[in-house]
Amino acid sequence: MKRGISTAGLVAFLLVDLVLVYLALRPPAVGTAPATPRGVVTSAPVATVGAPAPGPDGTLSPTTPRTAPTGSTVGQRSPRPVRVLLAALDLEVAWRATVGTCAAGGARLAISVDGGATWDDVEAPSATISRIQPLDRDEGFVVGGVEGCGQDQFTTRDGGRAWAGPTALVGAWARRLDRPTEVTTPQSPTAEPCEGDIVIDLSRTSAQQAEALCSDGGVRVTGDGGVSWRDSGQASGALALSNRLEGGVLATYVARVGVEGCDGVQVAKVTQGADPVEVACIRSVRATGGDVAISVADEAGWLVVDDRTWVSGAGLTVWEEA
């Protein structure tokens, strides 16, 4: 009798042990995260790199570039797309605008005819502005939207006192304020020169040729109206871009910050396969992304940082505050 009880007890013990082993080794239930051991800190979820997220005004905000530039600092904020536009005609005449927002509008436009000494505010023809272009002292055009971030064209023949339009935008260049990775070109309304990265600035020299400044400091160029793009140089810390033809050859200039040896804003020339070459350094000027604009014309260079203006002759080596 005692032997039978002992055998039954042994069998029961073995069954309990098998159950415990099964419970210890079985996989967790679907949708149940494994418990975190006491004292172990888990990392926060990793955000998707390069995906723009809508901001409070309905526009998209810049994010970390798809590929970080060589030598970039971990945690460094990406440059912001320019919020100030600048287009110079010559040493005396230039247009300046703030782009506004898709949700609230608020674009502003000002014209200088005295080398930047004074700026005369004119009534903007649209709620947002994505491009400005003076053609002579009184004539020029604006690309913008009457509502939201539409893209229409408005023209003036009297220095901004009256505007014609809106008319459909055809065969023109402009950034897309609602889609910061895209630009409108003569050949495409949704070109992506930076291959999915943020476009900081856009500058054209003809109906076929233009360059885009990308959020990683890369410059991209097209010669076929925006159908295809290729690398045109690299300029870390660049906040704004402009270009012109010099002897029939494309010349690219950027305004950039954080450059060793220049405590302020550096104007640099960019070429493919080489480091940017300093042309001038405007010292003791604090600049942040979005509030800097540069424009180079045949006879002059203009630079705006917030509400301050500098002007240079054709050589771009000597800059004076207006």
In a domain, 30, yes or no: no
Length of the chain: 322
What pLDDT, on a 0 to 100 scale, did the predictor assign at position 148? 87
Q: Does 140 have pLDDT greater than 50?
A: yes
More confident residue, 167 or 41: 167
pLDDT at 40 over 70: no
pLDDT-derived band at 30 (thresholds 50, 70, 90) equals very low
| Domain assignment present for 74 | no
Instruction: State mean pLDDT over 190-215.
Output: 97
Owning domain of residue 148 = 84-321
| pLDDT > 60? residue 107 | yes
d(CA 59, CA 216): 20
Percent of the chain scoring above 70 in pLDDT: 76
Q: What is the b/e burial string over 165-184, where b = at least 16 CB atoms within 10 angstroms of the residue's CB?
A: bbeebeebbbbbbbbbbbbb
pLDDT score of 78: 57
Domain annotation covers residue 259: yes
Residue 291 domain-assigned (yes or no): yes
Torsion of CA 280, 286, 291, 292, to 10 degrees: 0
CA distances from 311 to 40, 294, 316 (A): 58, 10, 9
Q: Cβ contacts of residue 294 below 8 Å, gap of 6+?
A: 86, 240, 241, 242, 253, 254, 255, 267, 301, 302, 303, 304
Q: What is the mean pLDDT of the chain?
A: 82
Domain count, the chain: 1
Q: Determine the average pLDDT of the residues in 172-189.
A: 96
Task: State yes or no: pLDDT of 65 exceeds 60.
Answer: no
Q: Is 46 domain-assigned?
A: no
Does residue 304 form part of some domain?
yes
Is 67 contained in some domain? no
Judged against a pLDDT cut of 80, whether residue 26 lies above it is answered with no
Any idea what the CATH number is for the domain that residue 171 is in?
Answer: 2.120.10.80
Residue 33 lies in a domain: no
